[in-house]
Chains A and B, each alone.
Chain A
């Protein structure tokens, strides 16, 4: 079946014939339309059918508004392979993991085939796709999307044939791969048929307006919605695709236990370390008053850092006061449980404070190696300047 989507090529042709007509370019307006929809209805799972070069997915990844699963399917495997690295997490996503999970799945397959993985989506988008289908296949496509996938909402956009006279120098279809281009009436006839058959309601709109001519929008859009509740709980068990081939990218997120723990430990240790440093500086400032610095003088929570035996204790309550830690844990109890779950941070017996080794104990060792401290900077420049100059 020849129904490759060639959105990238359409962009090229728009650049040349329509660039003066629309600003921002029409494809961006279509994407913006989808983003606005996502913003308003907050779907969790979105599938882009005919994702081609994944431009829409890339845009949605940035403006996610709570989307947790982004999927795309296209028949052009090369296009997916080409673009899949652009959808991979950025380096910074590992430095500041997102609050919510995000998984991006790309499938290689045809819309004509029925794939169980495509069921249960909140939103399915088919942007400038159907005009690439053979007219005979449209019904099969409709049945696949509305009858089989049964998403909560569907956004379908397609060229409006009535608008073509406005486009300068255009003869025939807008793209050589287009099999048909519908008028507004044809589009709505088809759409209303869908509603009747599959139980959806539809609204018509579009992007790209003509100045003072009643030809409708350049791209006409139909938004279908079912009456069911959006984001209805569906079983989240992972399905292995049966017909499609999967390429999958998972973003680091705080929902992932490992990532959360790593981030939390990092923040907690940093916070505890700075509290201890401040405590030490204050203590060193009042060195003369050394006698008061004994164990047990302030073991209650929230009373600041204290020494106990050979270690320094930083109360959890003080650590939790750091806004960065608070952003990760709702209360101290939550923090304590999270820290106890791992072995990275040592807590005292009643779980009220973090135990840090006392630096004074380590001093001796530090001094011994300090001489070559400077040379540590250059990994390959090991020990050239052991002599004692500054």
Chain B
């Protein structure tokens, strides 16, 4: 049987389970006795035993809260049982040294009579489920020169079978099991093409599948299974190019770049997926390239010879993939570009055009958004398939693994409902966590009177614009908003230039304009970008863009107008609602980073900090950073500015600072703790005698953990405010999973919060409730959202700046939520 080569390929899990490099592996007390109970008795090698005991047993972290009501929840974690009592780690040395990894593998394989068939070997470290002698000497003849090589295999550790060091090759084992079950690997997940759903109308196929990874959490070893869907297209890139060409000839190359760069394609001749980084218009399949052996060949010839494929279209450009430079020990460094033939590449993912087509998306989302019940059924199906497949069971059994047939069911809590306060009215949130009625019925906390504002619209939207203004007048009163008549500006056409020139001239001639409203016809990114650039950067003024389609239905105009007015109020610096937070002198900060999909431009960090104790005034900044640049440089600038602003407003500095940082993967947590936090603390030294308490919370929303409610043997969607803070949690940190939003369709994906640093000594209950409260404060949505509001604000700001402005918004707007 083949050894598990865990050094090759992306054995890492989708969430890239963090494997500590140090030898210290925290283990559970009961696990240690189970694993070593009998081996301790042998006196022969007491010394190694003594070393083994060094694997310290750590106190479990205090992370369990008590507030709220108990509720039974399920999660997509499947307990994995380890039947073996231990996994043995050995160090392998070759004398004289053998450089080639492949040869090292081959030499070890020749001794499979000694090591057994079940092997995990990365070239120097060997893991076996069986115990060899302390030191084993082996001999082998090198084929190339008949040199005799001696191999020394020395035992270095006896690991409990659920050790973190084993997880990489357990993951490999599970990937193999998925293959045995007949699932196809596409990207990182496994899919079942035989159950494909064909959407003929769109020439799409949706493949159902799973993403799996092994995690060692507070509760032990688990297989985390998420249901995943892959959208594949029957069209090759060349087909799609032809379609674009038929539609627009002049902008063909630009359109193609927009459509294909950043897309993932799957090639026809192998099972690989590639990201398209560029299109090479000057190259074609007729061109030659140099093969590994140095000979030159054309692409057409190469595909004909190696894959028996005849390329039909000889005049097509080539797609460029630039692999990340990586060099694993002993393997070739991959550099340079990979050229792909459009005719032989299939598109994956949802086509850009389709994303905008609402009906088409509906066709698709029916299949993709599975309910909690379907989700659990799919997982159970997988577990069933594993347990009835002898080959799969044998594969798992090689390492003594066994999956439970049950989905994890445990005890969670539902946090108490919060009270939302408007200016004078206040109410406990309903169980649907939706207060869209209340916010338009009563006055907001504060409203900025609108004396001078201008509305721009093209001639054909004149009727709609007038209707909108009239409706504004009707609904403003009850909301406590004062609104004077606007300056009407009718544009002669709807070209971008016309809009920009007109807005610019009005803003310069009338410096008191508080707000610019633009009616746009159609979904036009370039126009939107131009207006926002003008109003956020060059001539700072809050601006509101309205698509004419959204206001073209008379019977819905009233509710739309109310929503737009609320949004305008936020943009002007008004305050809508809040929840009570007992912590005084507190500053809450949200940070998110926006990466450009084409990866060419810089990343943008959005930073939003609260300025008052009601948490209703926000200070926002963005910084741009080059790829590989540390985020912390820009962060310090923003933090200092926010602290100064806070001082201006409150005449004191905040005593407690809570930072919600989005976009940190598991693997980066240590880096954040060791590098970012000391620098933040250093920031405070800028001010004399200032030592605030700091809590730093990492927010992860792209995780593959789901939560289900569990009632009378049925799985469903959990209610908003459900929190789970044990069993599935990370054993190295204080963390919890919180589902703040309500689920309308699909399955419940909670957000993962990890407290990295906590000198404010907030208890688990504090952390959880504060976080839940913060999820109530996003003013663009009268309900709870899945991340704390400052994170969502930071996200919107970063997105606007990175996608449309391409520069920092003007400082004059920094104390308003101009980006909503």
Binding site for B on A (CB under 8 A): 12-13, 16, 23, 62-64, 78, 81-82, 85, 88-92, 94-96, 252, 262, 265-270, 273, 344, 362, 366-367, 369-371, 373, 376-377, 379-390
The interface residues of chain A lying within 8 Å CB-to-CB of B355 are 377
B270 pairs with A90, CB closer than 8 A = yes
Chain A residue with Cβ nearest B519:
A390
The interface residues of chain A lying within 8 Å CB-to-CB of B553 are 367
- Measured between alpha carbons, how far is A92 from B266 in the docked complex, in Å? 8
Residues of chain B in range 705-735 having any CB-CB distance to chain A below 8 Å: none
Can you add 9 more A-B contacts, CB < 8 Å, to A267-B203, A270-B200, A384-B792?
Answer: A23-B293, A62-B269, A85-B179, A90-B270, A91-B232, A94-B184, A266-B199, A362-B359, A379-B365
Q: In this assembly, does B563 line the interface, its C-beta being within 8 Å of a C-beta of chain A?
A: yes
Say how far A311's CB is from chain B's closest CB, in angstroms.
Answer: 15
Contact with A along B504-523 (1 / 0, CB 8 A): 00000000000000001001
Q: In this assembly, does B37 line the interface, its C-beta being within 8 Å of a C-beta of chain A?
A: no
A388 pairs with B358, CB closer than 8 A = no
Contacting A390 at CB < 8 Å: which of B308, B528, B702? B528
The interface residues of chain B lying within 8 Å CB-to-CB of A377 are 350, 355, 361
- Measured between alpha carbons, how far is A265 from B205 in the docked complex, in Å? 12
Q: Which 7 A-B pairs have the closest CB atoms?
A: A269-B200, A94-B193, A266-B200, A388-B550, A63-B308, A390-B547, A373-B358
Say how far B340's CB is from chain A's closest CB, in angstroms.
Answer: 13
Q: In this assembly, does B567 line the interface, its C-beta being within 8 Å of a C-beta of chain A?
A: yes
B547 pairs with A12, CB closer than 8 A = no
Q: In this assembly, does B743 line the interface, its C-beta being within 8 Å of a C-beta of chain A?
A: yes
Q: In this assembly, does B564 line the interface, its C-beta being within 8 Å of a C-beta of chain A?
A: yes
Chain A residue with Cβ nearest B102:
A12
Q: In this assembly, does B781 line the interface, its C-beta being within 8 Å of a C-beta of chain A?
A: yes
Q: How many A-B Cβ pairs are below 8 Å?
A: 141
Segment among B60-68, B89-97, B164-172, B744-752 that sits at the interface with chain A: B744-752
The interface residues of chain A lying within 8 Å CB-to-CB of B524 are 390
A95 pairs with B234, CB closer than 8 A = yes
Q: In this assembly, does B785 line the interface, its C-beta being within 8 Å of a C-beta of chain A?
A: yes
The interface residues of chain A lying within 8 Å CB-to-CB of B567 are 387, 389
A382 pairs with B200, CB closer than 8 A = no
A266 pairs with B193, CB closer than 8 A = no
- Measured between alpha carbons, how far is A362 from B563 in the docked complex, in Å? 26
The interface residues of chain A lying within 8 Å CB-to-CB of B198 are 262, 265-266
The interface residues of chain B lying within 8 Å CB-to-CB of A78 are 1-2
B786 pairs with A387, CB closer than 8 A = no
A366 pairs with B359, CB closer than 8 A = yes
Say how far B686's CB is from chain A's closest CB, in angstroms.
Answer: 36
Say how far B649's CB is from chain A's closest CB, in angstroms.
Answer: 27
Contacting B785 at CB < 8 Å: which of A16, A267, A269, A384? A384
Contacting B781 at CB < 8 Å: which of A12, A91, A367, A386? A386
For A13, A81, A388, which residue has the most chain B Cβ atoms within 10 angstroms? A388
Q: In this assembly, does B376 line the interface, its C-beta being within 8 Å of a C-beta of chain A?
A: no
B202 pairs with A270, CB closer than 8 A = yes
The interface residues of chain A lying within 8 Å CB-to-CB of B150 are none
The interface residues of chain A lying within 8 Å CB-to-CB of B546 are 388-390
B781 pairs with A270, CB closer than 8 A = no
Say how far B128's CB is from chain A's closest CB, in angstroms.
Answer: 18
Q: In this assembly, does B577 line the interface, its C-beta being within 8 Å of a C-beta of chain A?
A: no
- Measured between alpha carbons, how far is A4 from B792 in the docked complex, in Å? 64
The interface residues of chain A lying within 8 Å CB-to-CB of B312 are none
Helix, strand, loop or mixed for chain B's interface?
mixed
Say how far A77's CB is from chain B's closest CB, in angstroms.
Answer: 9
A95 pairs with B547, CB closer than 8 A = no
For B200, B266, B270, B544, which residue has the most chain A Cβ atoms within 10 angstroms? B200
Helix, strand, loop or mixed for chain A's interface?
helix
Q: In this assembly, does B143 line the interface, its C-beta being within 8 Å of a C-beta of chain A?
A: yes
> Given known contacts A265-B198, A384-B778, A388-B546, is B184 in contact with A91 (CB within 8 Å)?
yes
- Measured between alpha carbons, how far is A82 from B792 in the docked complex, in Å? 49
Q: In this assembly, does B701 line the interface, its C-beta being within 8 Å of a C-beta of chain A?
A: yes
The interface residues of chain B lying within 8 Å CB-to-CB of A370 are 358, 549
Say how far A345's CB is from chain B's closest CB, in angstroms.
Answer: 8
Chain A residue with Cβ nearest B146:
A169
> Given known contacts A269-B200, A382-B746, A388-B550, is B308 in contact with A62 (CB within 8 Å)?
yes
- Measured between alpha carbons, how far is A381 from B796 in the docked complex, in Å? 13
The interface residues of chain B lying within 8 Å CB-to-CB of A268 are 200
B308 pairs with A383, CB closer than 8 A = no
Q: In this assembly, does B271 line the interface, its C-beta being within 8 Å of a C-beta of chain A?
A: yes
- Measured between alpha carbons, how far is A384 from B434 in the docked complex, in Å? 12
**A to B CB contacts below 8 Å, 12 in the list:** A78-B1, A262-B196, A266-B198, A266-B234, A268-B200, A366-B358, A376-B358, A377-B355, A380-B746, A382-B743, A388-B546, A390-B547
- Measured between alpha carbons, how far is A16 from B146 in the docked complex, in Å? 12
Q: In this assembly, does B346 line the interface, its C-beta being within 8 Å of a C-beta of chain A?
A: yes
Q: In this assembly, does B780 line the interface, its C-beta being within 8 Å of a C-beta of chain A?
A: yes
Say how far A176's CB is from chain B's closest CB, in angstroms.
Answer: 10
Say how far A327's CB is from chain B's closest CB, in angstroms.
Answer: 13
Chain A residue with Cβ nearest B270:
A90
Chain A residue with Cβ nearest B350:
A377
Q: In this assembly, does B427 line the interface, its C-beta being within 8 Å of a C-beta of chain A?
A: no
> Given known contacts A92-B346, A379-B368, A382-B744, is B523 in contact with A390 (CB within 8 Å)?
yes
Say how far A301's CB is from chain B's closest CB, in angstroms.
Answer: 22
The interface residues of chain B lying within 8 Å CB-to-CB of A62 are 269, 306-308
The interface residues of chain A lying within 8 Å CB-to-CB of B781 are 383-387
Q: In this assembly, does B19 line the interface, its C-beta being within 8 Å of a C-beta of chain A?
A: no
> Given known contacts A92-B266, A376-B365, A387-B567, is B201 in contact with A273 (CB within 8 Å)?
yes
Q: In this assembly, does B404 line the interface, its C-beta being within 8 Å of a C-beta of chain A?
A: no
- Measured between alpha carbons, how far is A362 from B792 in the docked complex, in Å? 34
> Given known contacts A266-B234, A369-B358, is B545 in contact with A390 (CB within 8 Å)?
yes
B1 pairs with A90, CB closer than 8 A = no
Say how far B114's CB is from chain A's closest CB, in angstroms.
Answer: 17
A376 pairs with B361, CB closer than 8 A = yes
- Measured between alpha carbons, how far is A23 from B294 in the docked complex, in Å? 12
Residues of chain B in range 326-376 having any CB-CB distance to chain A below 8 Å: 346, 350, 355, 358-359, 361-362, 365, 368-369
> Given known contacts A96-B234, A267-B200, is B563 in contact with A380 (CB within 8 Å)?
no
For A89, A91, A252, A367, which residue has the most chain B Cβ atoms within 10 angstroms? A91
Contacting A90 at CB < 8 Å: which of B2, B234, B269, B743? B269
B200 pairs with A389, CB closer than 8 A = no
Chain A residue with Cβ nearest B369:
A379
For B359, B368, B553, which residue has the most chain A Cβ atoms within 10 angstroms? B359
Say how far B231's CB is from chain A's closest CB, in angstroms.
Answer: 12
The interface residues of chain A lying within 8 Å CB-to-CB of B199 are 266
Contacting B780 at CB < 8 Å: which of A63, A371, A381, A384? A384
A90 pairs with B746, CB closer than 8 A = no
The interface residues of chain B lying within 8 Å CB-to-CB of A16 are 143-144
The interface residues of chain B lying within 8 Å CB-to-CB of A390 are 520, 523-524, 528, 545-547
Contact with A along B486-501 (1 / 0, CB 8 A): 0000000000000000
Q: In this assembly, does B268 line the interface, its C-beta being within 8 Å of a C-beta of chain A?
A: yes
> Given known contacts A95-B232, A367-B553, is B744 in contact with A383 (CB within 8 Å)?
yes
Say how far B464's CB is from chain A's closest CB, in angstroms.
Answer: 12
Say how far B690's CB is from chain A's closest CB, in angstroms.
Answer: 36
B749 pairs with A380, CB closer than 8 A = yes
Residues of chain B in range 532-556 having any CB-CB distance to chain A below 8 Å: 544-547, 549-551, 553
Q: In this assembly, does B186 line the interface, its C-beta being within 8 Å of a C-beta of chain A?
A: yes
Q: In this assembly, does B560 line the interface, its C-beta being within 8 Å of a C-beta of chain A?
A: yes
> Given known contacts A16-B143, A91-B193, is B564 in contact with A387 (CB within 8 Å)?
yes
